[in-house]
C-alpha cells in the first residue's frame, strides 16, 4: 500500500500554549471545517487526548461514516488523529505546535494517507485529493490565525454568554468561535431536556437553558450571572412564500422572543452587562442609491415594520444594561442562506441579474465577519444602539453576479440574460420585492468608528476564502 505525505506549516503570532489550547477546546473541529464541506458530527467522545474518538459523516461524494481516534498526545506540543474506519485505506494526521520564542509559534499539519484500491484509486483520485487538501488547509490555517488574533485583541476575563438561535446559520458558527476562545456558552433551547455540548465530554459542556417564547416560559435562574446574552432566534424569513400565516410567524417570533428576553433581563438579580439582539437591514426598506447609516430613518414595507417593532422590544432592557441592535445585511456562506441557494444555478450557468439591469444595491457581509462583529460588540463597551452589520463595500446586483461567476470560473456564462422583475415576483411573490429586488446602500458607520477591522471587506476576496477558490 503506497502512502502519500501532505505537510502544511504556518507561523502564527501567538504563544504556542495559546495555539495548542485553541485546538484542545470544544468547537475547534467545527471552526476548522471549511464551509464548502458537508460534515455531520455523529458522536464526539472527549477531546484530543489519547483514546478520544470523533465519529462523523462525510460526503466523498457519497455519505460515509468516518471514525477517528486520537493518539500520541503531548500537552502543548502535539496530537494525532488516526482513522479507525472511513474513506481512506490509511489516514494519520499529526498536529504539531512548535514554539518560536515567547510570542509566536509554528503550526504544522502532517498527514500520511493512502487511497483505497491501490494504484487504481491513486490514478482516479490522487490529484483531486491533493488539491482538496491544499484548499482545506489553506482555509484551516487562515481561520486559526484570524480567530486567535481576534481573541488576542480582547484578552480580558473569559465571558459567560447565553445564546438564542444557536443552531441557526449564525449561531452554529458563533458558538464554536466563542468556545475555542475559552468563553463559556449556554444555549437557550426549547427542549426541556438539558443536553451535552458539542463534544459530549463532561469537561467541555455547552450548557442548555430551557425557554419557549410562545408560552413565555424561561429558566431565568440559569441566566443569573451571565456576562452577555446574544439573541438570534426568529422564524426564517426566506423559507417558503409569504402568506398571512408565514408573515405572522415572522413577526410574532421576533416580537415575543425579544420581549421575553428583555423582560427577563430586567428581573434578574445579576443581569448581564450587554444584550446583543438581532435585527436586519430590512429596517431601511427599498431606498435606491441613497447612502444609509445607523442614523437613517426606517423605510416602508413589511420587513421595515418588523425590524422597527423588533428593535423597540429591547427598550426595556436599555434601562439597565448596554444593548446593541445588530442590523444584519445579506450574510454570505456556502454553508447556507442566500449564497448556498444560488450556487447550483450559477454553476449551471442559468442565473442572471435580478431585474433587467441589476442596479439594485446589495449590502452583504461574509459569515466570518458576522462572527467577528458579534465578538467586537461583546467586548467593545463603547458600542450600543443600532449597528449595521455589513461590508464597507456594497455592490450592485450586476456586480455580484459578475463576481460570483468569476470566482466560480464562469466568466462567460449563459446568464448574460437577466431574470426580469416580473419573473422573480411570479416565483416568490411579495418576498421578491423585499429580499431580492429592493436596493439598500448601507454603510457600517458604527463599526468603522469603533475600530472594527473587516476580515474580508471586498466581495471577491470574501467569496474566494469561503469557497476555497
Q: Give the pLDDT score at 241.
A: 77
Q: pLDDT band at 452, cuts 50/70/90? A: very high
Q: Give the pLDDT score at 59.
A: 83
Domain count across the chain: 2
Provide CB contacts within 8 A for 79, sequence distance 6+: 23, 48, 49, 70, 71, 72, 73, 94, 95
Q: Give which of 372, 367, 371 is closest to 337, Cα–Cα.
A: 367
Residue finishing a domain among 122, 152, 182: 152
Same domain, 26 and 131: yes
Residue finishing a domain among 110, 132, 152: 152
Grid cell of 169 as nine digits: 446559520
Grid cell of 101 as nine digits: 520564542
pLDDT tens-digit readout, 50-94:
999 999 999 877 789 999 999 999 999 999 999 999 999 999 999
pLDDT of residue 178 exceeding 60? yes
Same domain, 137 and 168: no
Q: Give the pLDDT score at 410.
A: 78
Q: What is the mean pLDDT of residues 273-292?
A: 96
Find out whether the peptide bond into 462 is cis, omega within 30 degrees of 0. Answer: no
Q: Are 59 and 38 in contact (CB under 8 A)?
A: yes
Percent of the chain at pLDDT > 90 equals: 72
Half-sphere exposure of 330 (CA within 13 A, CB side): 27
Provide the CA 317 distance to its chain's centre, in angstroms. Answer: 26
Same domain, 407 and 445: yes
Q: What is the mean pLDDT of residues 89-113?
A: 97
Q: Are 416 and 358 in contact (CB under 8 A)?
A: no
Same domain, 232 and 328: yes
Same domain, 67 and 142: yes
> What residues make up the domain containing 23?
4-152
Same domain, 173 and 30: no
Q: pLDDT band at 2, cuts 50/70/90? A: confident
Domain with 81 in it: what CATH number?
Answer: 3.30.530.20
Distances (CA, A) of 347 to 128, 195, 397, 404, 410: 19, 40, 17, 10, 7
Grid cell of 433 as nine digits: 420585492
Same domain, 34 and 109: yes
Q: pTM for the complete prediction?
A: 0.92
pLDDT of residue 257 exceeding 90? yes
Distances (CA, A) of 444 to 84, 328, 409: 48, 10, 30
Residue finishing a domain among 152, 184, 211: 152
Q: Give the pLDDT score at 202.
A: 32
Q: What is the mean pLDDT of residues 22-47?
A: 93
Cell match 463532561: residue? 202
H or E segment and range at residue 52: none
pLDDT tens-digit readout, 190-234:
876 544 444 343 334 468 999 999 899 999 999 999 999 999 999
User: Could you please report the per-residue DSSP string of 147-200?
Assistant: HHHHHHTT-SPPPEEEEESTTSTTHHHHHHHHHHTT-EEEEEES-SS----SS-
Domain with 298 in it: what CATH number?
Answer: 3.40.50.720
Measure the CA–CA gap between 118 and 115, rounded to whole angstroms: 6
Same domain, 79 and 178: no
Q: Give which of 269, 255, 268, 266 is closest to 213, Cα–Cα.
A: 255
Same domain, 308 and 249: yes
Q: What is the mean pLDDT of residues 40-46?
A: 90
Residues in the chain: 469
Q: Give the pLDDT score at 340.
A: 86
Same domain, 171 and 65: no
pLDDT of residue 372 exceeding 90? yes
Q: pLDDT band at 164, cuts 50/70/90? A: very high
pLDDT tens-digit readout, 401-430:
889 989 998 765 555 556 655 555 555 565
DSSP 320: T
Same domain, 145 and 164: no
Measure the CA–CA gap between 44 and 423, rounded to whole angstroms: 47
Number of separate helices (H) and strands (E) present in the chain: 14, 22
In terms of Cβ atoms closer than 10 Å to its own Cβ (0-12, 13-18, 19+), residue 107 is buried
Same domain, 200 and 130: no
Amino acid at each position: 500500500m503506497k502512502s502519500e505525505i501532505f505537510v502544511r506549516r504556518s507561523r502564527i503570532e501567538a504563544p504556542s500554549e495559546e495555539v495548542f489550547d485553541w485546538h484542545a477546546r470544544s468547537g475547534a473541529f467545527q471552526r476548522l471545517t471549511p464551509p464548502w464541506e458537508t460534515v455531520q458530527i455523529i458522536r464526539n467522545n472527549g477531546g484530543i487526548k489519547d483514546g478520544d474518538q470523533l465519529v462523523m459523516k462525510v460526503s466523498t461524494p457519497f455519505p460515509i461514516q468516518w471514525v477517528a481516534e486520537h493518539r500520541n498526545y503531548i500537552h502543548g506540543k502535539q496530537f494525532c488523529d488516526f482513522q479507525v474506519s472511513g474513506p481512506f485505506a490509511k489516514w494519520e494526521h499529526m498536529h504539531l505546535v512548535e514554539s518560536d520564542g515567547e510570542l509566536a509559534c509554528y503550526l504544522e499539519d502532517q498527514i500520511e494517507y493512502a487511497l483505497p484500491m491501490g494504484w487504481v484509486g491513486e490514478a482516479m483520485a490522487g490529484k483531486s485529493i491533493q488539491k482538496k487538501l491544499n484548499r482545506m488547509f489553506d482555509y484551516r490555517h487562515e481561520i486559526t490565525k484570524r480567530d486567535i488574533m481576534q481573541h488576542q485583541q480582547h484578552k480580558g476575563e473569559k465571558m459567560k454568554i447565553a445564546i438564542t438561535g444557536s443552531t441557526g446559520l449564525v449561531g452554529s458558527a458563533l458558538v464554536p468561535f466563542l468556545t475555542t476562545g475559552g468563553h463559556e456558552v449556554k444555549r437557550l433551547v426549547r427542549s426541556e431536556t438539558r443536553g451535552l455540548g458539542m463534544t459530549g465530554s463532561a469537561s467541555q459542556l455547552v450548557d442548555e437553558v430551557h425557554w419557549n417564547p410562545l408560552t413565555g416560559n424561561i429558566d431565568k435562574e440559569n441566566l443569573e450571572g451571565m456576562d452577555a446574552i446574544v439573541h438570534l432566534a426568529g422564524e426564517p424569513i426566506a423559507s417558503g412564500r409569504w402568506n398571512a400565516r408565514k408573515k405572522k410567524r415572522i413577526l410574532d417570533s421576533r416580537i415575543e422572543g425579544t420581549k421575553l428576553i428583555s423582560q427577563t433581563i430586567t428581573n434578574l438579580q445579576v443581569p448581564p452587562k450587554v444584550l446583543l439582539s438581532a435585527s436586519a437591514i430590512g429596517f431601511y426598506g427599498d431606498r435606491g442609491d441613497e447612502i444609509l447609516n445607523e442614523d437613517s430613518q426606517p423605510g416602508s414595507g413589511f420587513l421595515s415594520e418588523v425590524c422597527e417593532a423588533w428593535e423597540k422590544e429591547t427598550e426595556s432592557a436599555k434601562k439597565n444594561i448596554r444593548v446593541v441592535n445588530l442590523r444584519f445585511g445579506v450574510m454570505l456562506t456556502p454553508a447556507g442562506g442566500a449564497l448556498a441557494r444560488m450556487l447550483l444555478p450559477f454553476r449551471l450557468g442559468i442565473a442572471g441579474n435580478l431585474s433587467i439591469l441589476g442596479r439594485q444595491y446589495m449590502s452583504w457581509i461574509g459569515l466570518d465577519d458576522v462572527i467577528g462583529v458579534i465578538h467586537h460588540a461583546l467586548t467593545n463597551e463603547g458600542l450600543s444602539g443600532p449597528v449595521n452589520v455589513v461590508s464597507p463595500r456594497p455592490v450592485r446586483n450586476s456586480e455580484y453576479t459578475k463576481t460570483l461567476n468569476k470566482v466560480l470560473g464562469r466568466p462567460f456564462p449563459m446568464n448574460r440574460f437577466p431574470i426580469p422583475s416580473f419573473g422573480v415576483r411570479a416565483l416568490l411573490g411579495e418576498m421578491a420585492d423585499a429580499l431580492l429586488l429592493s436596493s439598500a446602500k448601507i454603510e457600517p458607520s458604527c463599526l468603522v468608528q469603533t475600530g472594527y477591522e473587516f476580515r474580508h471587506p471586498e466581495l471577491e476576496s470574501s467569496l474566494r476564502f469561503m469557497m476555497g477558490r
